[in-house]
């Protein structure tokens, strides 16, 4: 028979005023197996804890029940006290007689009766408790950052700065992401490349950072502290160790009509290319879809001009397998497809562009060398119309339900830059709302209106139709003036919605990280744990978690790095011991539990069992990884054979509580 101690707290008068604590202690003391039952004014105080510790030692208690406040308040306190007296901390149960008894009842007799019943239920449970020991697992002191945009770069730099090795996996031939394509950044109007490229170079030069460019994640296995990731290094047909990035091959390549994705198809590049001048790593890549040599074996010009012999047409995809303690998702965003909105004539006219295309048209390193020219005829546009919320803040069937957050600000930036550089140009902005929360943001857009004379029109654009003379007829409504407008525009810029990277969902599946309905990664807690995924060991950086501007992205990236550093600086991870556990003798390997597990904590293996007739039989049985299991218990109910149980909240424990309460 187990020896149980009961400790009833007065909590000053918080409990004692409505509950007869002496009667509770006395009644519970008469329960079989209870050897000591005491009451004390403040059980959580030093002397109260000493009373518990002394009783544990004096009576050799196997379990204790504390009748006190909510376990959410002091469960840890009493567990620690028990542990210091040599009792397993999970042999402690708490009967909540304050929040759920004394504070909600007025009648003393009623409240006392209820407190006794709650105490009895806790005794019934603690009699079935088993000592639990939190499992420990090692931590691989290396982090993986997926995505090499500003979010990934900042996270990697911060982790590397703390002394941990980091690998960046980037699917494009260079890191830099969307920020590399931008012209200026709001609200300070400093040049995007000028602040980004030094960070890219830092990444390349940092001894702790390894960049896998032109690579993708192939598979992920393992759990927090111990992930194994397979990385596919796509064939770039250029030997990375030899290429010096001189660019000679990109000048000699005869295939000149490949749409340049860095300039969003506004100009062309060669089949062998370096994405942009400041690319990191500055290594050429051959586009296998266009290269004559790779397509039909005729050409080979680039290998002839390459002075270091870096061109290798026989290169194939290779795979790298590496172990990591933490994984950061920094997959960023893409511009949503605006061609589905026929009313904006994006497909009909070259002069209807997205904002990112406008960035390239205004960028000194862009296709026009920084002079704003119409893509159709190369002439200077005199009237420019911006359309806000294209695809954002829509009904789900029409577009994205969310606000893309950055458009109001970058449109104000574009309008301001255009008015500053080309004062003869009229700029109109059709908006639903102007949303500019942020440091110096509202001042910024007001400057666009007040100082630079940008015409802001509250209203929507109904139709854009190209006219034979090359201009665009923009038909919209002005809600404030209550009138229909026709503007003859030379250029229309659509503030297209941003959406998570197309690869994000397949990556989330590999990481067992959860996503919301818009394919943004879900955070562990929207307010209190914004940079962690609910899946332990997976962290979120940048727009993959939700729309953000650059300062917010960098802030989140550094916060994310801090979390990763915190994880990697531990030698051992202590888990929650209240996890699911499968009884191999009862498990029939049906997979029901693995199907409901949100964490992918359950795996199956074939195990040999010695049968009573001395034969061995091989059966497929479930195994719960205690480091991954979070202890929700979904599997315990799904298990048809009753093999799965949750430690700390076992079937028999809960049944015992039910029995005690229903007496």
Partner 1 sequence: MQVNEQTGFVPTIVAFCCNWCSYAGADLSGTNRLQYPANVKIIRVPCSCRVNPMFILRAFGRGADGVILCGCHPGDCHYTTGNYYTRRRMTLLCSMLDYLGIERKRTRVEWVSAAEGAKFAKTMRSFAEEIAALGPNRRLEDLRVRKSEPEGRVPDAE
Judged by beta carbon, residue 476 or residue 633, the one nearer partner 1 is: 633
Judged by beta carbon, residue 274 or residue 629, the one nearer partner 1 is: 629
d(CA 663, CA 656): 11
Judged by beta carbon, residue 370 or residue 600, the one nearer partner 1 is: 600
Measured from the Cβ of residue 569, the count of other Cβ atoms closer than 10 Å reads: 12
- Residue 531 Cβ vs partner 1, minimum distance, rounded to whole Å: 17
- Residue 76 Cβ vs partner 1, minimum distance, rounded to whole Å: 14
Partners of 96 in the beta sheet? 68
- Residue 583 Cβ vs partner 1, minimum distance, rounded to whole Å: 15
Mention every residue, 6+ apart, whose C-beta is less than 8 A from residue 313. Answer: 237, 286, 293, 294, 300, 303
Phi-psi region of 615 (alpha: psi -120 to 50; beta: other; left: phi over 0): beta
The answer to whether the beta carbons of residues 490 and 306 sit under 8 Å apart is no
Judged by beta carbon, residue 333 or residue 599, the one nearer partner 1 is: 599
Judged by beta carbon, residue 77 or residue 514, the one nearer partner 1 is: 514
Nearest to 144 by CA among 524, 535, 511, 610: 511
The answer to whether the beta carbons of residues 445 and 436 sit under 8 Å apart is yes
Judged by beta carbon, residue 117 or residue 310, the one nearer partner 1 is: 117
- Residue 661 Cβ vs partner 1, minimum distance, rounded to whole Å: 4
Strands 538-540 and 326-329: parallel
- Residue 121 Cβ vs partner 1, minimum distance, rounded to whole Å: 7
- Residue 125 Cβ vs partner 1, minimum distance, rounded to whole Å: 9
Judged by beta carbon, residue 425 or residue 522, the one nearer partner 1 is: 522
Judged by beta carbon, residue 352 or residue 578, the one nearer partner 1 is: 578
DSSP-based three-state secondary structure for 316: coil
Nearest to 66 by CA among 84, 90, 86, 92: 92
- Residue 573 Cβ vs partner 1, minimum distance, rounded to whole Å: 19
- Residue 590 Cβ vs partner 1, minimum distance, rounded to whole Å: 16
d(CA 613, CA 630): 39
Interface residues with partner 1 (CB under 8 A)? 70-72, 96, 98-101, 103-107, 110-111, 113-114, 117-118, 121, 514, 522, 534, 578, 596, 598, 630-634, 636-638, 646, 649, 651, 654-655, 657-659, 661-663
- Residue 658 Cβ vs partner 1, minimum distance, rounded to whole Å: 5
Mention every residue, 6+ apart, whose C-beta is less than 8 A from residue 153. Answer: 168, 175, 176, 177, 196, 199, 200, 203, 557
The answer to whether the beta carbons of residues 496 and 354 sit under 8 Å apart is yes
Inter-CA distances, 209 with 169, 202, 316, Å: 11, 9, 24
Judged by beta carbon, residue 447 or residue 581, the one nearer partner 1 is: 581
Judged by beta carbon, residue 59 or residue 103, the one nearer partner 1 is: 103
H and E: helices and strands count for the chain: 17, 34
Judged by beta carbon, residue 20 or residue 113, the one nearer partner 1 is: 113
Judged by beta carbon, residue 503 or residue 514, the one nearer partner 1 is: 514
Judged by beta carbon, residue 65 or residue 150, the one nearer partner 1 is: 65
The answer to whether the beta carbons of residues 646 and 579 sit under 8 Å apart is yes
- Residue recorded with tokens 């996996």: 169
d(CA 267, CA 380): 17
d(CA 147, CA 95): 49
Partners of 323 in the beta sheet? 228
Strands 602-610 and 616-624: antiparallel
The answer to whether the beta carbons of residues 227 and 237 sit under 8 Å apart is no
- Residue 128 Cβ vs partner 1, minimum distance, rounded to whole Å: 14
- Residue 598 Cβ vs partner 1, minimum distance, rounded to whole Å: 5
Which tokens sit at 615?
A: 């034969």
- Residue 47 Cβ vs partner 1, minimum distance, rounded to whole Å: 26
d(CA 282, CA 284): 7
d(CA 416, CA 443): 13
CA angle, residues 455, 457, 463, in degrees to nearest 5? 115
């Amino acid at each position: 028979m187990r020896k149980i101690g009961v400790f009833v707290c007065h909590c000053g008068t918080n409990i004692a005023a409505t509950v007869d604590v002496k009667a509770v202690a006395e009644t519970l003391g008469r329960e079989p197996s209870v050897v000591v039952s005491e009451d004390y004014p403040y059980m959580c105080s030093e002397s109260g804890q000493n009373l518990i510790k002394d009783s544990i030692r004096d009576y050799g208690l196997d379990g204790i029940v504390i009748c006190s406040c909510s376990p959410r308040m002091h469960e840890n306190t009493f567990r620690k006290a028990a542990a210091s007296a040599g009792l397993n901390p999970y042999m402690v149960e708490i009967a909540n007689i304050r929040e759920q008894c004394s504070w909600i009842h007025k009648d003393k007799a009623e409240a006392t009766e209820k407190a006794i019943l709650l105490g009895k239920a806790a005794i019934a449970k603690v009699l079935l408790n088993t000592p639990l020991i939190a499992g420990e697992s090692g931590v691989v002191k290396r982090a993986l950052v997926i995505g090499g945009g500003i979010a990934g770069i900042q996270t990697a730099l911060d982790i590397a700065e703390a002394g941990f090795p980091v690998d960046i996996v980037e699917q494009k031939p260079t890191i830099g992401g969307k920020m590399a394509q931008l012209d200026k950044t709001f609200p300070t109007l400093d040049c995007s490349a000028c602040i980004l490229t030094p960070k890219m170079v830092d990444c390349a030069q940092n001894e702790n950072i390894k960049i896998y460019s032109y690579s993708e994640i192939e598979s992920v296995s393992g759990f927090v502290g111990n992930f194994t990731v397979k990385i596919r290094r796509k064939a770039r047909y250029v030997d990375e160790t030899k290429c010096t990035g001189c660019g000679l091959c990109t000048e000699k390549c005869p295939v000149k009509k490949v749409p340049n994705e860095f300039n969003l198809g506004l100009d062309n590049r060669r089949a062998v290319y370096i994405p942009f001048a400041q690319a990191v790593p500055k290594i050429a890549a051959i586009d296998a879809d266009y290269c004559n040599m790779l397509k039909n074996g005729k050409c080979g010009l680039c290998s002839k001009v390459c002075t270091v012999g870096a061109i290798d047409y026989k290169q194939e995809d290779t795979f790298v397998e590496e172990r990591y303690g933490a994984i950061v998702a920094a997959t960023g965003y893409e511009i949503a497809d605006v061609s589905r909105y026929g009313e904006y004539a994006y497909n009909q006219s070259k002069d209807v562009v997205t904002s990112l295309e406008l960035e390239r048209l205004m960028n000194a390193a862009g296709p026009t060398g920084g002079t704003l020219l119409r893509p159709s005829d190369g002439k200077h546009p005199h009237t420019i119309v911006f359309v806000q919320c294209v695809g954002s803040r829509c009904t789900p069937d029409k577009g994205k339900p969310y606000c893309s957050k950055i458009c109001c600000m970058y449109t104000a930036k574009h309008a301001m830059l255009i008015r500053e550089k080309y004062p003869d140009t009229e700029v109109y902005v059709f908006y639903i709302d102007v949303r500019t929360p942020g440091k110096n943001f509202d001042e910024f857009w007001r400057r666009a209106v007040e100082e630079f004379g940008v015409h802001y029109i509250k209203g929507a654009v109904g139709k854009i139709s190209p006219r034979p003379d090359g201009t665009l007829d923009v038909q919209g409504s002005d809600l404030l003036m209550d009138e229909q407008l026709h503007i003859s525009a030379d250029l229309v810029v659509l503030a297209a919605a941003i959406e998570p990277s197309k690869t994000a969902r397949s990556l989330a599946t590999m990481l067992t990280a959860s996503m919301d309905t818009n394919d943004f990664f879900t955070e562990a807690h929207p307010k209190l744990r914004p940079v962690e995924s609910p899946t332990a060991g997976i962290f979120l950086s940048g727009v993959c978690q939700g729309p953000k501007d650059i300062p917010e992205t960098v802030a989140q990236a550094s916060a994310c790095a801090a979390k990763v550093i915190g994880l990697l600086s531990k030698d051992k991870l202590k888990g929650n011991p209240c996890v699911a556990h499968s009884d191999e003798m009862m498990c029939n390997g049906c997979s029901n539990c693995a199907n409901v597990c949100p964490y992918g904590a359950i795996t199956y293996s074939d195990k040999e069992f010695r049968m009573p007739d001395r034969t061995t039989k091989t059966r497929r049985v479930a195994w719960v990884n205690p480091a991954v299991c979070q202890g929700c218990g979904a599997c315990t109910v799904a298990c048809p054979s009753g093999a799965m149980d949750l430690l700390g909240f076992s079937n028999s424990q809960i049944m015992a509580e039910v029995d005690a309460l229903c007496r």
